[in-house]
Amino acid sequence: MRKKSRKLATLFFAALMAGSALGGCGKKSNNNNENSSAPATSDKTVTESTETSTVTVNTPPSTDVAEEDVPVPAGYHLVWHDEFNGTELNPDDWNYETHEAGWVNHELQEYVPSKDYAYVKDGELVIQPVKTVDENGNTAYFSGRVNTQNKHDYKYGKVEARLKVPTGKGFLPAFWMMPQDEQFYGQWPRCGEIDIMEVLGDSTNTLYGTLHFGEPHKQRQGTFTLTEGNFAEEYHTFAIEWEPGEIRWYCDDVQYFATNDWFTKAGGQIKGKPYPAPFNQPFHVILNVAVGGDWPGNPDDTTPFDERASMKVDYVRFYQKESYDENVEKPVDKLVMREADENGNFIYNGDFSENEDLSDDENWKFILLAGGDGKAEIKNNEIIISSNSEGTEEYSVQLVQPQMPMEKGARYRLSFEACSEEPRQMKIGISAPDVDWIRYFKDTTVELTEEWQEYSFEFKMTEESDDNGRVEFNMGKQGSTATIHIKNVRLEKIEE
């Protein structure tokens, strides 16, 4: 996962959008393994050939476990799986990891190689976070993290797991992959990372699938939101299909995201290794539950540390095709800049004349995360945001519009009118969902009053051009749940 200084909203692709090192993914050092001896294709790309000869990667033969006992997708053979039908985690397959609290992303848990926190029971792998309070009132958190590094590392294939996630504020379960040799292309993110499944413990109906890569760090992300039920109450199957020129993400056999757009570092290659690097090397599986940290936030008094805190994994399976052709074409970025309207405004429906769906990924989107609760309504050419809970993060209650065309060297003006039912603050900014959430226009606090006021800010775009800047109105964790009214939002390019 990426290092989530902020997290996106439900159901948004990379155009949106929590991590670097999430509670299950992100900026990583080498794994410290107790038993290990070693450390829909993007529509914004055109392609160019990077190889002239065919390079074929042959895969291992089928596993010696009877395949008739495990369904095998058409075109694949089963190379490894674990149904967790024994009495303990098999040390020939899995490593326990050891990491101190705060190792990445300001997470609170210590990963301990103990059967107290990762164990097999009733045909499942159980990863169980635990909270302790000593006689002096000091709180500590422990959890399990296991991987298959140097035991089951494969290049390309279909990887899937059927599992159920924990529920509760501050939990971040993850099913993900890192390279067998994390230093081959250099430290994270150049080495690459594939996040197959992440679900926030306080938002268990939304799934995130993410690819991390590059120098500087970039990511591609898709999300999937259940219309009924949630990932904590039912088992679901999470998978990727990983091929030399594309990686696809699935939930219960439904594809919700795909990308072929990645690189190892700026310039597109390193050590003479072209695309599809860094995703042309063996990767291993990791399963863990993080507690607290930058993206999920910390546990609160409502967070359960009982059976509801556990991630239960029914199985993990790895399939491959007989061979893979690495003679693939390298995507080349082709920015598709949004056109301004007839009035020069890059914001669509900035006058709120259309009562649009605020839950989809078109134009305006209203997002609740990290304990935020409320609603948004478009009415009488304004949008009205009513909050019941401000949440634990400034982005817990958020109104956004992505796909802002940010051109390097250009000057812009962001303006809007706003008021609130009582004096309060709100933060605005323009972020870069695809570029590690840097700010094109820094987060800026505005003071709202009961009277309508006009706010206007000018700034120069100093970063590389991007067709997916995101205008944000952040209304969480600012000491008030007073209702906010916004109208006449504009983003326009201005002369020097």
Task: Compute the distance between CA of residue 237 and CA of residue 259 in angstroms, rounded to an integer.
Answer: 20
Task: Compute the distance between CA of residue 475 and CA of residue 427 in angstroms, rounded to an integer.
Answer: 7
Dihedral sign for Cα 208, 211, 212, 218, please: negative
Task: Compute the distance between CA of residue 99 and CA of residue 106 in angstroms, rounded to an integer.
Answer: 12
Query: What are the two backbone dihedrals, phi and then psi, of residue 386, each rounded to the nearest 5 degrees?
Result: -110, 125
The token pair that represents 313 in the structure block: 């994994």
Residue among 264, 200, 242 nearest 50 (CA): 264
Task: Compute the distance between CA of residue 330 and CA of residue 170 in angstroms, rounded to an integer.
Answer: 39
Task: Compute the distance between CA of residue 356 and CA of residue 365 in angstroms, rounded to an integer.
Answer: 9
The token pair that represents 419 in the structure block: 């008021």
DSSP 8-state secondary structure symbol assigned to residue 419: E
* Integer angstrom CA distances of residue 61 from 79, 309, 321: 7, 38, 10
Residue among 108, 259, 289, 112 nearest 192 (CA): 259
SS3 content of the chain, % helix, strand, coil (to 5): 0, 45, 55
- Residues with a catalytic annotation lie at 193, 198
> Cα torsion at 54, 57, 58, 64 (round to 10°)?
-160
Dihedral sign for Cα 22, 24, 30, 31, please: positive
Greatest pairwise CA separation for the chain in angstroms: 73
Coil, strand or helix at 167: coil
DSSP symbols for 263-309? -SSTTS-BTTB-TTTTSSS-EEEEEEEEES-TTT----TT---SGGG
The token pair that represents 393 in the structure block: 């993060």
Dihedral sign for Cα 393, 397, 402, 406, please: negative
DSSP 8-state secondary structure symbol assigned to residue 10: T
